[in-house]
Amino acid sequence: MVESTNGAADLSSEMEVDAFRRLFPLRFHERHLLESVRPDARPLGKARETSLALGAVASADGSALAKIGCTTMLAAIKMEVMTPAKETPDEGCIAIDFHMPAICSPIVRPGRPAEAAPVVSKQLSDTIISSGMVDLKELSLVSGKAAWMAYLDIYCLDADGALFDAALLAAVAAFSHLQIPVVSLNEEGRIVVFSKQNEGEKLKNKPVNEEKRKLKLRSIPFGLTCIIHKNYILADPIAEEESIMETLITIVLDSSYQLVSLYKPGGPAVAYESIIQDCIALSRQRVGELQTILNEAICDMEVD
């Protein structure tokens, strides 16, 4: 009888806490901030558990599945031969699209584009190009005639905060997994991409690259989004925290810990220099963690 009474009391207490969280979400979170802890028991400056799996899409030339907490991103790269622009005859191109299907979040409505999608898409494109991670000259095939176009599509499968950070990690991992297809010049001087169906033609035609090759990535960028609320800095926020604390700062550092970009989309808090420095310090720690996770995923792929 005593156990039954205690169980009922615990259930009642849980319901009260849940009701308080739903009715007064900001006050609920601020009570935790006073103890320098989050509702999920994380310290304020700690990111969520993160995992990477390379080769998640068998039909893609490069792919990866990235998870940061519940936030989940699937990235896939498809390579196609194109005619390079006259201004850059020795360079290929990268086209990036970020997708948020309705399944990823209750705030995304079927048939309506998510407001965050084009913002994240542009942020990803700016970051990947400005970081210099991919040397576009490596994507050239025949100067002025043929080059690779890398189509990178990233699908958000679960949008639980820090979307850009997870999308960037998935993109970086997909490029790490990418294998550029085998191509040759045919008798008309056109590029032929080899597949299992036309593998026999490889011997007849002049090879441009004789076997699949990987890109040499440089200055790999990693992102960390932080929320600024009063005197507190919360690293890697979940969607609930983002919805009630409006000031976000995203720091992107490369693998050499050099600043690639600083993005502050808005919010009432002023980004003082000391706050930015604290966010950069957290980002430096995060870069080390993510670099280790990426290296382990690459090693696991090579072993398989």
Q: What is the mean pLDDT of residues 24-43?
A: 86
Token digits of residue 183: 């191509």
Nearest Cα to Cα of residue 152 among 265, 60, 81:
60
Token digits of residue 160: 């639980």
C-alpha 181/C-alpha 18 separation (Å) is: 53
178, 149 in Cβ contact below 8 A? no
Asked which of 26-35, 63-72, 177-186, 187-196 is least confident by mean pLDDT, the reply is 187-196
E strands in 83-215: 93-99, 140-142, 146-158, 183-185, 191-193, 206-209
Torsion of CA 231, 235, 240, 244, to 10 degrees: 30
β-bridge mates for residue 232, sequence order: 229
Higher pLDDT, 2 or 65: 65
C-alpha 187/C-alpha 225 separation (Å) is: 52
Asked which of 63-72, 152-161, 178-187, 190-199 is least confident by mean pLDDT, the reply is 190-199
C-alpha 69/C-alpha 67 separation (Å) is: 6
Residue whose token pair is 């993160």: 50
* pLDDT per residue as tens digits for the range 168-223: 999 999 999 999 988 876 655 577 776 655 555 544 555 565 567 889 999 999 99
Token digits of residue 107: 């705030």
* pLDDT per residue as tens digits for the range 132-145: 999 999 999 888 98
C-alpha 197/C-alpha 131 separation (Å) is: 38
Q: What are the two backbone dihedrals, phi and then psi, of residue 298, each rounded to the nearest 5 degrees?
A: -65, -45
